[in-house]
């Protein structure tokens, strides 16, 4: 089964945080928690949608996991 994590938003309503999926809770980012929960649920096919503004941070987070996670850039963030 495939799961898609939407991580491309600019988090404009969550100021002062710049990217809500990268906010840390107890030493882990929200993105890490999401990936771990999906992995524990048996999801093996993961896709993370990112924006150009957070590409490097998303890549760093995803690199921590042994499983292959597909990364896809959302180019036109204004479209939602």
Model pTM score: 0.84
CA pair distance 22, 57, nearest whole angstrom? 8
**29 vs 9, more confident:** 29
Calculate the average pLDDT of the chain.
Answer: 87
Q: What angle do CA 63, 32, 67 make, to 5 degrees?
A: 45
pLDDT for 80: 60
- Residue 8's pLDDT band (cuts 50, 70, 90): confident
């Amino acid at each position: 089964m495939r799961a898609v994590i939407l991580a491309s938003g600019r988090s404009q309503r969550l100021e002062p945080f710049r990217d809500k999926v990268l906010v840390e809770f107890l030493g882990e980012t929200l993105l890490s928690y999401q990936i771990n929960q999906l992995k524990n649920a048996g999801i093996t096919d993961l896709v993370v949608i990112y924006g150009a503004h957070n590409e490097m941070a998303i890549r760093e987070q995803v690199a921590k996991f042994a499983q292959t996670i597909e990364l896809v850039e959302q180019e036109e963030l204004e479209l939602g």
